[in-house]
A = this chain, B = another copy of it.
Amino acid sequence: MESSKIGHHISEQFNREIEDIRNKVLTMGGLVEQQITLATQAFSEGDIELAETVIKQDDQVNDLELEIDRECIEIIALRQPAAFDLRLLISVIKTITEIERVGDQAKRIAQMAIHLVDSENHNQYYELQHIVDMVSAMLHDALDAFARMNIHEVVSISKQVKNVNREYKSIVRQLITKMMEDPRKISRSLDLLWTARALERVGDHACNISEYVIYMVKGEDIRHLSTEELTQKVDL
């Protein structure tokens, strides 16, 4: 009786630790989502102060990454989890690397925002509006899939990668045309290009996060599968 109580207690403690880690991952995810929103806003409005806020937030994201990473490894060492719990912890370790890199891209966009304001005193980003909306939604859905452990969102996120890629290529084509028409626009256009590239990469990270959700829930590694193969896996 006493020992089963202890067993129960240990398991509850373990559950709390896992729950605590999940919450921290969601906090970290919320933080980089906000960073992407603020960075693109800073970019479109030429708001240097806002851009600087985004850059400062990077430390917070990095600290969270190290903290969660350390806690996951401690739990693995002390509790020796198996099956689902181990997969959850390994997925978290991988997921936070992706989230941290989304934060890096936000920082990059914020730096570009500052650079654009410095160089010509007005910004516009109508060319990027669509890709911003697309990857923001992907990131949100990926973090949501992680929070709910919902693998059915993953297929649609994976399909979005192709759309983002198409949109990105269309932006590149537009910008090349602009640069050719007016070489004075080359420098500005390149800043837009880097920003589009950074946004495209955010979409890739979102897709990677969603793939780790499948691994966590189903124990299957679906990286490097085609969308068709993926749909089959999820439907099984």
Residues of A within 8 A of B (CB): 62, 65-66, 69-70, 73, 76-77, 80, 82-83, 86-87, 90, 93-94, 97, 172, 176, 179-180, 183-184, 186-187, 190, 193, 197, 221, 223-224
Choose one: B73, B83, B193; the contact of A86 (CB below 8 Å): B73
Measured between beta carbons, the chain B residues less than 8 angstroms from A179 are 179, 183, 186
User: Which residue in chain B gives the minimum CB-CB distance to A66?
Assistant: B221
A223 to chain B, nearest CB (A): 7
B66 touches A224 (CB 8 A): yes
Q: Which residue of B lies closest to A62 (CB)?
A: B224
In the bound complex, CA of A21 to CA of B152 (Å):
33
Assembly CA distance A122 to B170 (angstroms): 26
Q: How far is the CA of A186 from the CA of B184 in the complex (A)?
A: 12
CB distance from A205 to the nearest CB of B (A): 11
Q: What is the count of identical protomers in the complex? A: 2
| Contact between B86 and A76, CB atoms less than 8 A apart | yes
CB pair A223–B186 under 8 Å, yes or no, is no
Distance A23 CA – B70 CA, assembled complex (angstroms): 26
Task: Determine the chain B residues whose CB is within 8 A of the CB of A65 once the complex forms.
Answer: 223
B-chain residues with CB within 8 Å of residue A70 when the two chains form the complex: 221
In the complex, which residues of chain B have a beta carbon less than 8 angstroms from the beta carbon of A176?
186-187, 190
User: Looking across the interface, which residue of chain B has its beta carbon closest to that of A208?
Assistant: B97
Tell whether, in the assembled complex, residue A90 and residue B73 are in contact, meaning their CB atoms are under 8 Å apart: yes
Return A210 CB to nearest CB of chain B, in Å.
16
Chain B residues with CB below 8 A from A187, complex form: 176
Residues on the B chain within 8 Å of A73, using CB = 86-87, 90
Would you list the 3 A-B pairs with minimal beta carbon distance, nearest first?
Answer: A80-B80, A62-B224, A180-B183
User: What separation, in Å, do the CA atoms of A73 and B86 have in the docked complex?
Assistant: 8
